[in-house]
Structure 1
Amino acid sequence: MALTVIEQRALDALDEDGLIKTFRELLRMPDITGQEAEAQHWLAGQMHAFGLDVDMWTIDVAELQRQAGFPGMEVDRSQHEAVGLVGTWQGNGEAGRRLIFNGHIDVVPEGDRAQWSHDPWGAEREGDLIYGRGACDMKGGLIAALYAIKAIKDSGLALAGSLMLQSVIGEEDGGLGTFATLLRGHTGDAAIVCEPTELKLIPAQAGALTFQVRVSGKSAHACVRLEGVSAVEKYLDIHRVLLQLERARNSNVTHPLLGKFDLPYPLSVGRVQAGNWSSSVPDELIFEGRIGVAMGESCQAVREQFERTLRDLADADPWLREHPLEIEWTGGQFESGEIPQDHPLVQCCDACLQDLTGQKPAIEGITAGTDLRQLVNLGAIPSLLLGPGDVRVAHMPDEHVHITEVLTAARAYILIALRFLQAAV
């Protein structure tokens, strides 16, 4: 379908230079998960300047943790303010549909700077690329959504509905920001989560749970190590069993989107720490990791299967039978979430991208947990992921995004908003 005069008018109003400048300003802020307050206050100022109705509040994290369905977190938030932020543009009266753009402002730490060839907080530009922590995941999508709303306002169009930008914190370690935003009452008829998808449409995401397990051993001098019980050696048996569990959980995946992956529901041990002296038999080992949650599977069912697997191993081992493994479910607890591929929101986004780019976008699933599942499962809001950037460079040294893709995302958001809300002059 050809673009209408009204649609082209809104697309022409996109302030590309302003978008790039603002994006780079945000990239220079080291808003690592748990330390997002400064960036949220700055973004609230941008929203005010663009004429949005701004709701910014201090999130009571302790109270939030007492709520049923709290999504978990890993970082200590006692030293920094937790800030919720929503900017809304109400169109033509109170009637009409409400479209949400949701994006997390927090980023993961930069890691070893020696592995970066660009300053992780420098927002350095090289040709069509902008480098920096959060460039891909997901400040590009967040600012693209902000400027999409600004473009529609600047074009003078009156929407038959409202647009909302939810800038959320804590997504990287569980999703407390979106959880708090929904509990505050900020809901809508549909949502675009601006995660990096290379502008593919992602209506389905697997879940993921993080765990910590403590393995007990018995210390002894290394010269008489047979007098002790090595927690490391016990862990080796556990690791083999976990690999078997992963294979079993991924042996017959039939989901139309997730079944295309070689490993849709990974079980990964990300950290292992053992012992306290090089010449002593290690009397303790702690390992941490994550296990994927299948589409439609409850988090509780996954926890029970994981615990049962380790309990069966321990029952067959005399030492572990007498010294039980200590299992904790820590950090983010991500359910799966999805909407059907033929949902009207997917169809609308599909048509908009085709008309904008001349190409039909791919429709895929994703093996990572995102805030989509909270919007769908908790908020009952049909949602999909759509944004600039390649998730394969997220969390990596020299994280980057293509400027042209960020601008295309902003144009896509403009067109989707106009068609979903049916704009009028």
Structure 2
Amino acid sequence: MSALDQVDVTDIKRAVDSLRGEATALLSDLVRCPSLLGEEKSAQDLVRGVFEGMQLQVDEFAIDDTKLKQHPGYSPSIVSYEGRHNIVGLHKPRHGTRGKSLIFNGHIDVVPVGAERLWTKPPFEPWTDGDKLYGRGAGDMKAGIVAYIVAMKALKNMGLEPAADVILQSVVEEECTGNGALACLVQGYRADAAIIPEPLNCIMHAQMGVMWLALEVAGKPVHASVAHTGVAAIDFALYMFGELKNLEQKWNAPEHRHTEYRGHEHPVNFNLGKIQGGEWASSVPTACRADLRLGFYPGVAPAEVRETVEQIFAEAHRKHPQSNSIEYKVIYEGFQAEGFVLDINSPMVTTLADCHRSVAGSEVTFNAFTGTTDARFFNLYGNIPATCYGPTAANIHGIDEWVSIDSMMEVASVLATFTASWCGTNRI
């Protein structure tokens, strides 16, 4: 008899469903906390209070950037860590340990809202329309944090506790470096498996590498009436990005694709996400900074990508007719993240798939993600099998972000079922 055979899924679903109102209220409260980069404290204070109310051992700790810099998974941060803490809640069984340990990880930070006037309602004022709960961060990924909290609460309401350590992590800075999750690893938190309820509506079995870099350009300023005699820094930055896009096209060609991404329409994406430059409408711009995001396949080291990018930039600069009048430099800040492939036949994955089938009554889908997540730290540096499995959401990083409340509750039921199966349970 498997561990899953001993779990009463109907009882778990009933216990989870009874928490629907509480879950929706908690998600709304979290969305009201505008946990943008560097502003995560209010949301983390709320999470800490929830963990304390669950009688978990709570560890709130600052990120030691000096210590992280020595780790191969480190990415250069773009803001200070002062006042920005991770919150970890630790469940230790009171009635005997006999199962396998588990980490639930989620990030509390959210991306900027963009042009707020395009939102139907203010982005940090949650609102519902049927099954959808709207607001920045609702899907990515505060609903995932709520789902694992509800999973643990549902088991407790059933008179059960996981019979192994369960570590609940709410981390900062997933959206630009992942150093929050890395800090948990460096802090010493380990388990036999990790699940991140990112809003992918699948089990993620692979993810891309991602790199951020900035291209800074200094040009030759002249009056706009003789613009043809100068070198516009903005134009040159766009020219350099255009040359780099040829590499994106090459990596997307069928003969250069990674096996796990053969079926994707366009797996490798280079994005010019931000550009700043110029001083005056009637002056050829002196300076420009372009912030870029590059995707690359699992198995490719960030150092290899950096070398390739710098060779392309050097050649583009060399062949430019006005190269003598323009300078540039490349700065690496933010993601320097490797990709990975997860064994879908590992016990963690097969157990999670079984739990999904048992709760949802259908087979789970598997997906190779074209972005990055904090799962890389567990798989690459912690020897901990980790995947993303979370609710259905849409417009993440876009306008009118929303998450399906039904799917959040279903994920909570799956996570509770997985916890009971993976960790075992004790009566309390």
Q: Which residue of 1 aligns with 2:54?
A: 50
Q: Which residue of 1 aligns with 2:220?
A: 218
Pick from 290, 311, 316: which aligns with 2:314?
311
Does residue 406 of structure 1 match 2:408? yes
Contact 2:185-2:382 within 8 A present in 1 as well:
yes
Aligned amino acid, residue 121 of structure 1: F
Rounded to whole Å, the distance in 2 between the matches of 1:282 and 1:186 is 50
Q: Shift of the alpha carbon at 1:347? A: 1.0
Rounded to whole Å, the distance in 2 between the matches of 1:293 and 1:189 is 28
Contact 1:207-1:335 within 8 A present in 2 as well:
yes
Task: Describe the shift of the 1:417–1:273 C-alpha distance in structure 2 as closer, same or farther (beyond 3 A).
Answer: same
Contact 2:87-2:169 within 8 A present in 1 as well:
yes
Task: Describe the shift of the 1:120–1:240 C-alpha distance in structure 2 as closer, same or farther (beyond 3 A).
Answer: closer
Pick from 408, 417, 420: which aligns with 2:419?
417
Q: Which residue of 1 aligns with 2:30?
A: 26
Contact 1:149-1:163 within 8 A present in 2 as well:
no
Rounded to whole Å, the distance in 1 between the matches of 2:155 and 2:380 is 30
Rounded to whole Å, the distance in 2 between the matches of 1:54 and 1:118 is 35
Task: Describe the shift of the 1:4–1:16 C-alpha distance in structure 2 as closer, same or farther (beyond 3 A).
Answer: farther
Rounded to whole Å, the distance in 1 between the matches of 2:161 and 2:221 is 72
Counterpart mapping for 1:140-289 below 5 A:
140-198=143-201, 200-251=202-253, 252-289=255-292
Contact 2:75-2:333 within 8 A present in 1 as well:
no
Between stretches 129-138 and 20-29, larger displacement belongs to 20-29
Does residue 346 of structure 1 match 2:349? yes
**Seq. identity, %:** 31
Q: Shift of the alpha carbon at 1:38? A: 2.0
Task: Describe the shift of the 1:285–1:109 C-alpha distance in structure 2 as closer, same or farther (beyond 3 A).
Answer: closer
Deviation readout 1:171-228 (Å, 9 max, x if unpaired): 1111121011111111111000110012x11021101101111223211112223332
Task: Describe the shift of the 1:274–1:196 C-alpha distance in structure 2 as closer, same or farther (beyond 3 A).
Answer: same
Contact 1:84-1:168 within 8 A present in 2 as well:
yes
Contact 1:219-1:281 within 8 A present in 2 as well:
yes
Task: Describe the shift of the 1:255–1:226 C-alpha distance in structure 2 as closer, same or farther (beyond 3 A).
Answer: closer
Deviation readout 1:371-414 (Å, 9 max, x if unpaired): 01111112221001000133x41022211111101100100101
Q: Shift of the alpha carbon at 1:253? A: 4.5
Between stretches 364-373 and 156-165, larger displacement belongs to 156-165
Deviation readout 1:248-273 (Å, 9 max, x if unpaired): 12213443432222221211112223
Aligned amino acid, residue 169 of structure 1: V
Q: Which residue of 2 aligns with 1:363?
A: 366
What is the TM-score with the length of structure 1 in the denominator? 0.93
Pick from 57, 70, 76: which aligns with 2:74?
70
Rounded to whole Å, the distance in 2 between the matches of 1:387 and 1:285 is 39
Rounded to whole Å, the distance in 2 between the matches of 1:20 and 1:273 is 40
Aligned amino acid, residue 420 of structure 2: L
Rounded to whole Å, the distance in 1 between the matches of 2:403 and 2:178 is 23
Q: Shift of the alpha carbon at 1:166? A: 0.7
Aligned amino acid, residue 415 of structure 2: Y
Which segments of 5 or more consecutive residues in structure 2 lack a partner in the other structure? none
Rounded to whole Å, the distance in 2 between the matches of 1:301 and 1:24 is 43
Q: Shift of the alpha carbon at 1:132? A: 0.9
